[in-house]
Amino acid sequence: MSLAPMVIEARQPVQRSASQRSTQQWQALDAAHHLHPFSDAAALNAQGARVISHADGVYVWDSEGNKIFDAMSGLWCVNIGYGRRELAEVAARQMNELAFYNTFFKTTHPQVAELSALLAEVAPEGFNHVFYTNSGSEGNDTVIRMVRHYWASLGQPQRKTIIARENGYHGSTIGGASLGGMTYMHEQGDLPIPGIVHIEQPYWFANGGDLSPEAYGLKAARALEAKILELGAENVAAFIGEPVQGAGGIIIPPSTYWPEIQRICDQYGILLVADEVICGFGRTGEWFGSQYFGIRPHLMTIAKGLSSGYLPIGGVLVHDQVAKVLIEAGDFNHGFTYSGHPVAAAVAAENLRILKNERIIERMRDEMAPYVHQLWHAAFDDHPLVGDVRCLGYFFALTLVEDKASRKRFANGDALALRGRDICFANNLIMRAVHDSLIAAPPLVMSRAEAELFVSRARQCIDQLARELGYLA
Ligand SMILES: Cc1ncc(COP(=O)(O)O)c(C=O)c1O
């Protein structure tokens, strides 16, 4: 049973879409016509995509009837778990009442106004405005345009450059991918665009050498100061970072990192942007990752957990300091047809109410996370194949190492982690491989029994990988 109260009335038996064709037929149809994101199409089509049929709580089922523990919450988004019927009901009601209307030309609707007020209520002090997008990527594109417009409005149009981080992830649009520090993305299509530069990521395990995590955290943060001085502070618009890097492999910065970043942004008058697309809405055990680390950002990019992934919606939360300038500056020539879409807004608002009323974030932080962290460390701290065991809120990660004591990593670590990911998948556990790490971000509503299953299944899978590599008998 999940942490959230279960919907108790019996569900009508349903004819699931997946049952209309065989798995092979779905795979053939998919291979013939669907280009998947971030995929090697030929390799995928040769193997056939796993067909996900339906979901409930922390589980998804495939078309072969396998019940799979989804320890990635879809794609870091299904924070309240699958199958919450209230959200489906709100969506259906809203589609019947007002399926769409835009907010461009002096109109609004109750759903977007209500969601905005709810966001102002749950966001940190001073965040009273929101600009809507459909995704995190569009949110970060909005950030680029917004910070440049802000500075231009203040008579400093030369303040254009945005400093981001290597191995950060900010999405896949041209702006988002440019802010991101993924070189394999930059290689395709001449990115980053001008005016975006990258500094070192705060990854002590990889880059810390002989420094303590705390000393290294200061060093990594001071790369920002060095870059500002190199560019000239008068040319720098903003610094952007994920409080915890998600897609980069759950990189948890040393405790000294964010306070020093904050000091530097304050000292040089640079806008601080927290990309909360993954960290927001509970992943760290706080509503926002910025609160966990005590960061005081000017803008926060949001998406994913805003609607728990039930419908696409994202945006940028804007601090009063920036909002005041934007409001006085006249037209901001930016927006999307579906900015603040009424159905997505209604679903997001219901999702926020569920998070709030059921105290899902607080219960995860106070009652569950300490227990699951203990399980995670007990399972992996002494594991011969695992070097860096990390967790924070409901982020869980482990890095494979050739030699534990010296933090020596495998030359083919990426391939080994992918093999580990495949073993998990074959054993009905969804984790993700990033470089030489295996990572997880389960739904916030995982029960104790489900948490025990998650960790013990992860351990069995890593043991299997260790046996294949000769690290365990
Ligand atoms: C931190 C962060 N920012 C932005 C994005 C992009 O969001 P989307 O895929 O909704 O465009 C992601 C997606 O994973 C993300 O993790």
pLDDT band at 405 (very low <50, low <70, confident <90, very high): confident
CA distance 23 to 50: 8
Mean pLDDT check: name the lowest of 4-13, 71-80, 353-362: 4-13
Q: Which amino acid is at 191?
A: L
Structural domain of 269: 87-357
Does position 271 have pLDDT exceeding 80, yes or no?
A: yes
Do residues 373 and 338 share a domain?
Answer: no
Please state the rounded mean pLDDT for residues 52-57: 98
Q: Which of these, 398, 387, 443, lies nearest to 420 by C-alpha position? A: 398
Residue 467 Cα to ligand 1 midpoint, Å, equals 35
Residue 383 near ligand 1, beta carbon < 6 Å:
no
The CATH number of whichever domain residue 74 belongs to comes to: 3.90.1150.10
User: Of the residues 357, 391, 407, which one is the last residue of a structural domain?
Assistant: 357
Residue 141 near ligand 1, beta carbon < 6 Å:
no
Residue 242 near ligand 1, beta carbon < 6 Å:
yes
CA distance 98 to 29: 34
| Partners of 241 in beta bridges | 274
Residue 169 near ligand 1, beta carbon < 6 Å:
yes
CA distance 390 to 441: 12
In a domain, 103, yes or no: yes
pLDDT band at 183 (very low <50, low <70, confident <90, very high): very high
pLDDT band at 3 (very low <50, low <70, confident <90, very high): low
SS3 for 157? coil
For the chain, how far is it from start to end, CA to CA, in angstroms?
Answer: 35
Residue 17 Cα to ligand 1 midpoint, Å, equals 28
Whole-number percent of the chain with pLDDT over 90: 95
Do residues 48 and 107 share a domain?
Answer: no
| Assigned token pair, 45 | 């089509």
Per-residue pLDDT reduced to its tens digit, 215-254: 999 999 999 999 999 999 999 999 999 999 999 999 999 9
Segments in 279-389 forming alpha helices (H):
289-293, 320-328, 342-357, 360-363, 369-380
Do residues 328 and 184 share a domain?
Answer: yes
Do residues 37 and 116 share a domain?
Answer: no
| Assigned token pair, 115 | 């969601």
Please state the rounded mean pLDDT for residues 413-439: 98
User: Of the residues 357, 388, 403, which one is the last residue of a structural domain?
Assistant: 357
Do residues 325 and 366 share a domain?
Answer: no
In a domain, 211, yes or no: yes
Per-residue pLDDT reduced to its tens digit, 333-352: 999 999 999 999 999 999 99
In a domain, 11, yes or no: no
Residue 137 Cα to ligand 1 midpoint, Å, equals 6
Do residues 26 and 172 share a domain?
Answer: no
Do residues 398 and 414 share a domain?
Answer: yes
| Assigned token pair, 438 | 């295996």
Neighbours of 40 (CB within 10 A): 10
Q: Please tell me the predicted confidence (pLDDT) of residue 1.
A: 42
In a domain, 424, yes or no: yes
Contact between residue 110 and residue 82 where contact means Cβ atoms under 8 Å apart: no
Mean pLDDT check: name the lowest of 4-18, 160-174, 370-384: 4-18
Atom of ligand 1 lying closest to residue 246 CA: 16
Listing DSSP states for 356-369 in one string gives HHTTHHHHIIIIIH
In a domain, 400, yes or no: yes
In a domain, 4, yes or no: no
Do residues 124 and 264 share a domain?
Answer: yes
Q: Please tell me the predicted confidence (pLDDT) of residue 15.
A: 81
CA distance 381 to 307: 35
Residue 74 near ligand 1, beta carbon < 6 Å:
no
Q: Which of these, 464, 459, 469, 458, lies nearest to 430 by C-alpha position? A: 458
Inter-axis angle of helices 342-357 and 110-122, to 10 degrees? Answer: 30
Per-residue pLDDT reduced to its tens digit, 277-318: 999 999 999 999 999 999 999 999 999 999 999 999 999 999
Does position 448 have pLDDT exceeding 90, yes or no?
A: yes
Nearest CA to ligand 1 atom 8: 136
pLDDT band at 12 (very low <50, low <70, confident <90, very high): low
Neighbours of 465 (CB within 10 A): 22
SS3 for 333? coil
User: Of the residues 357, 377, 407, which one is the last residue of a structural domain?
Assistant: 357
CA distance 143 to 351: 24
Do residues 336 and 367 share a domain?
Answer: no
Q: Please tell me the predicted confidence (pLDDT) of residue 10.
A: 54
Question: What is the total count of domains within the chain?
Answer: 2
Please state the rounded mean pLDDT for residues 433-445: 98
Nearest CA to ligand 1 atom 16: 278
CA distance 23 to 44: 15
Atom of ligand 1 lying closest to residue 137 CA: 11
Do residues 343 and 437 share a domain?
Answer: no
Residue 276 near ligand 1, beta carbon < 6 Å:
no
Residue 275 Cα to ligand 1 midpoint, Å, equals 9
Burial class (CB in 10 A: 0-12, 13-18, 19+), 16: exposed
Per-residue pLDDT reduced to its tens digit, 120-174: 999 999 999 999 999 999 999 999 999 999 999 999 999 999 999 999 999 999 9
| Assigned token pair, 396 | 């869980």
pLDDT band at 463 (very low <50, low <70, confident <90, very high): very high
Whole-number percent of the chain with pLDDT over 70: 97
Please state the rounded mean pLDDT for residues 72-90: 98
Atom of ligand 1 lying closest to residue 314 CA: 10
Do residues 269 and 145 share a domain?
Answer: yes
Residue 297 Cα to ligand 1 midpoint, Å, equals 18
pLDDT band at 407 (very low <50, low <70, confident <90, very high): confident
| Partners of 392 in beta bridges | 395
Nearest CA to ligand 1 atom 7: 136
Residue 383 Cα to ligand 1 midpoint, Å, equals 32
Residue 243 near ligand 1, beta carbon < 6 Å:
no
Atom of ligand 1 lying closest to residue 140 CA: 4
The CATH number of whichever domain residue 252 belongs to comes to: 3.40.640.10
Place of tokens 């009323």: 357
Do residues 36 and 183 share a domain?
Answer: no
Q: Which amino acid is at 408?
A: K
CA distance 437 to 251: 10
Residue 403 Cα to ligand 1 midpoint, Å, equals 33
Residue 58 near ligand 1, beta carbon < 6 Å:
no
